[in-house]
Amino acid sequence: MTPSPSFFDRNGLRLAVFTHGSGTPMVFQHGLCGDAGQTADVFPFDLPARCLTLECRGHGASEAGDTTRFSIATFADDIAAWVESLHLGPVVLGGISMGAAISLRLAVTRPELVRALVLARPAWIAEAAPPNMEANAVVGDLLAGYSPEEARAKFDASEIARDLEERAPDNLASLRGFFTRRPQAVTSALLTRISADGPGVSREQIASLKLPTLVVGTDVDAIHPIGHAEALAAMIPGARFLRITPKALDKARYTQDFRTALAQFLSENPA
């Protein structure tokens, strides 16, 4: 059963917090237009470990506030303020896709809050607006100008959609899901603003990290290229890189592989 959220007040904005399991806490952040269910699905609850996820502004049960403030830096600042309010740090911090970019930023800019790092299916290395985020930006632009039905039809007729159908069907399914996500204006703002953003840290800063790090990547994923995961693992001293089963090929195996990887990493990095 999905637990009810608690709420963290961030300057008058209500942000939803979900806690699953019990034991040593891991702060585990979802991806763009995702929610706490994404992180709970791959968390190893057979461990004495607790998965804590703050749903970012405009995601899940969290309020959106001013959509012009949507950025990886803003989301990271929200998480830092929440972790500090609970006196949790330093924590094992990790994330999937956008959550990985948020986690990477915090590991660099707020090292006192982070004792170990998990970067899963990263969509960014250091630079803003990487080419692999173009499909998300296209969907965001279409939603800004058309009804969901018209936007979906235009997207399905695009070369990007045809290419993803061949190369990365799981990515295509996720993108198509955005056309029914509500509120439409919030979804459009998230997709356009975050796709144009980045973690806001340099490659030199990433290479200076000194903490246990696990980087997880998959093939058959155009939005989260395996090369990004490999590059980050090579850049961070001592980082472990793990290639797991692509969700596009076998979702159940992907989930189990992910849980196994997290279980091992958390066991090796107890509080």
Look up the domain containing 53 and give its range: 6-126+199-268
Q: pLDDT tens digit string along 50-100?
A: 999 999 999 999 999 999 999 999 999 999 999 999 999 899 999 999 999
Residues 16 and 98 in one domain: yes
Please give the pLDDT value at position 1. Answer: 56
CA distances 18 to 62, 122, 268, Å, are 11, 22, 24
Is the peptide bond preceding residue 183 cis, with omega within 30 degrees of 0?
Answer: yes
Please give the pLDDT value at position 3. Answer: 80
Closest CA to 112 of 243, 45, 211, 200: 211
What is the DSSP code (8-state) at residue 126? S
Residues 120 and 136 in one domain: no
The dihedral sign for the CA sequence 58, 119, 46, 52: negative
In angstroms, rounded to a whole number, what is the distance separating the alpha carbons of residues 229 and 206?
Answer: 13
DSSP string, 69-92: G-SHHHHHHHHHHHHHHHT--SEE
Residues 190 and 203 in one domain: no
Residues 74 and 205 in one domain: yes
Please give the pLDDT value at position 261. Answer: 98
Please give the pLDDT value at position 257. Answer: 98
SS3 154: helix
The overall average pLDDT reported for the chain is: 97
Residues 122 and 135 in one domain: no
Please give the pLDDT value at position 89. Answer: 84
Give 255: exposed, middle or buried? Use CB within 10 Å, 0-12, 13-18, 19+: middle
Q: pLDDT tens digit string along 114-165?
A: 999 999 999 999 999 999 999 999 999 999 999 999 999 999 999 999 999 9
Residues 62 and 118 in one domain: yes
Residues 22 and 97 in one domain: yes
Last residue of a domain, one of 196, 220, 253: 196
Q: pLDDT tens digit string along 184-219?
A: 999 999 999 999 999 999 999 999 999 999 999 999
In angstroms, rounded to a whole number, what is the distance separating the alpha carbons of residues 260 and 195?
Answer: 30
Residues 51 and 167 in one domain: no
SS3 5: coil
The verdict on residue 1 lying in a domain is no
Residues 181 and 232 in one domain: no
Closest CA to 22 of 53, 43, 57, 47: 47
In angstroms, rounded to a whole number, what is the distance separating the alpha carbons of residues 213 and 81?
Answer: 23
Closest CA to 132 of 94, 98, 179, 177: 98
Residues 115 and 142 in one domain: no
Give 138: exposed, middle or buried? Use CB within 10 Å, 0-12, 13-18, 19+: buried
Task: Write down the pTM of the prediction.
Answer: 0.97
- Mean pLDDT of the region 98-121: 98
- Mean pLDDT of the region 40-59: 96
In angstroms, rounded to a whole number, what is the distance separating the alpha carbons of residues 230 and 233?
Answer: 5
- The total number of structural domains in the chain stands at 2
- Mean pLDDT of the region 47-51: 93
Residue 29 region by backbone torsions, left for phi larger than 0, else alpha for psi between -120 and 50, else beta: beta
SS3 119: strand
- Mean pLDDT of the region 157-186: 97
Last residue of a domain, one of 175, 196, 217: 196
